[in-house]
Amino acid sequence: MTNQQRTDLIERHLREHKYADLQSLAARFSGSLSTVRRALDQLEVRGIVRRHHGGASLIETDAFAQEYDFIARNQRQADEKFAIASLVASQVRPGMTVILDGGSTTYAVARLLAEKRLQVITNSLPIASFFSDIGNVETIVTGGSIYSRLGFLVGPQCEQSFDQTHADLAILGGTGITESGVWNQNVVVGAVQRKMIAAAERTIFVLDQSKFGRKALSLTAPFDPRFTIVTDTRPAPAVARAITTAGAKLTLAEKKSAARP
């Protein structure tokens, strides 16, 4: 296979799947990591993909679609999300059972868990797709109805999946955080998150600074002693005080660059 043929195949794959990591592309198209990086560099120059830590994603040309597309949201606050994800991933030990929801920061965590032997339960189709090529992670996908373009599974079937489930840890995202707790933009997403919280021994919320002070439609949960809030910047004093008063833990991640490897 020539380098141009490989580049064409990688482009076709990304147009179909929207995102791919370096390791999967190298294995699928019989190339070294450096060869795949060069192919992605060419596609980035042509404006087809966007490179980021560990892989690349398709650049959507429809501005309206970008607002609601999972991968587009994944690119926002990239360095902050990577810093948060690195800290959280370091706390996940091999052999654990971990619940991951469909947030974009949670997806960043998932990418850093690929080499660990874990059992993952998720309602995120992008996360399930990512782990499908990784032999170390046993992935359990909930039932439910697909929520819009974001690839979440929600609804009664999804919620029931957690009624008889036990996990060591739940890692969840959110739309906003205030003194009242963590918020989500959709009632059905919040309902699923509450089931996840109930099924786990403890819960880590991963929330970058863009979520500070934001209320949304549904309060997912008030702060709880089993919660850890991981963020990249200290929130307003009132929010920090509400977290600690409730017995929850606030952890700040050291900012790292999500630059290309």
153-175 pLDDT, tens digit each: 999 999 999 998 999 999 999 99
**pLDDT band at residue 53 using 50, 70 and 90 as cut-offs:** low
Closest CA to 194 of 207, 213, 178, 181: 181
- In this structure, the chain runs to a length of 261
218-258 pLDDT, tens digit each: 899 999 999 999 999 999 999 999 999 999 999 999 765 44
| DSSP-based three-state secondary structure for 253 | coil
Strands 249-252 and 200-206: unpaired
181-196 pLDDT, tens digit each: 999 988 899 999 999 9
pTM of the prediction? 0.72
| Greatest distance between any 2 Cα atoms in the chain | 61
Six-digit token pair at 10?
A: 């990688």
Enumerate residues 6+ apart whose C-beta is below 8 A from 157: 142, 143, 144, 145
Q: Which whole-number Å values give the CA distances from 17 to 21, 58, 139, 237, 259, in the listed order?
A: 11, 8, 19, 42, 22
Contact 103, 171 (CB under 8 A): no
Give the C-alpha separation, 221 to 218, whole Å: 9
* Domains of the chain in sequence order: 3-59 (1.10.10.10), 76-252 (3.40.50.1360)
